[in-house]
Amino acid sequence: MTRRILVALIFAILLLGVGAAQWAYLDQGYTLDIAINGGPVSSSHIGFPRSRKLVLLALGVAAFGTLWLFASSRKRNRVAAWATLALGLLVAVFDLREYGAIGSPTTLWAVLLLLALALTVQLSAWRAEERE
């Protein structure tokens, strides 16, 4: 098994884990309890629209497409990796604006994982260019 395939499998397992956690969070939403100056507690349940799951699914397809390009040594794997990271950052910024830092469905771990994927693909491409 080549090193690229092994690295891609590790990233796939990590992406599945983070994606499953985000999917479950999108299903459940969260409940916010607020009490002002010791007054009565007000509870609000925050749910996410179904379109947000589609965004997560699209981001997952982009990430796994990048992994496939990386594992099969395709030339466009760098473009796919950085485009996937850019998409992930756009989704994260939208989530922060829409839901705030506490309730955002995009976790820091998801963004860092996409950054690690992009850097891994980039470093691998640089090493391949040095060998030529």
Total number of domains constituting the chain: 1
Q: What is the DSSP string of 52-114?
A: HHHHHHHHHHHHHHHHHHHHTT-TTHHHHHHHHHHHHHHHHHHHHHHHHHHH-SS-HHHHHHH
With 0-12 / 13-18 / 19 or more C-beta atoms within 10 angstroms meaning exposed / middle / buried, residue 25 is middle
pLDDT digits (tens, 9 = 90+) for 99-116: 888 888 999 999 999 999
Tell me the C-alpha to C-alpha distance, in Å, between residue 36 and each of 30, 41, 43.
20, 8, 12
Residue type, 55: V
Q: Which helix (H) or strand (E) holds 42?
A: strand 42-46
Q: Which residues lie closer than 8 Å to 124 by C-beta, 6 or more apart? A: 4, 70
Locus of tokens 């950052």:
89
Q: Which ranges of the chain have pLDDT less than 50?
A: none
**What local confidence, expressed as pLDDT, does residue 1 receive?**
55
Q: What is the pLDDT of residues 4-14, one digit of tens each?
A: 999 999 999 99
> Phi and psi of 10, rounded to 5°?
-65, -45
Q: Residue 5 corresponds to which tokens in the numbers above?
A: 């395939």
Residue span of the structural domain in which 8 resides: 3-131
3-class SS of residue 40? coil
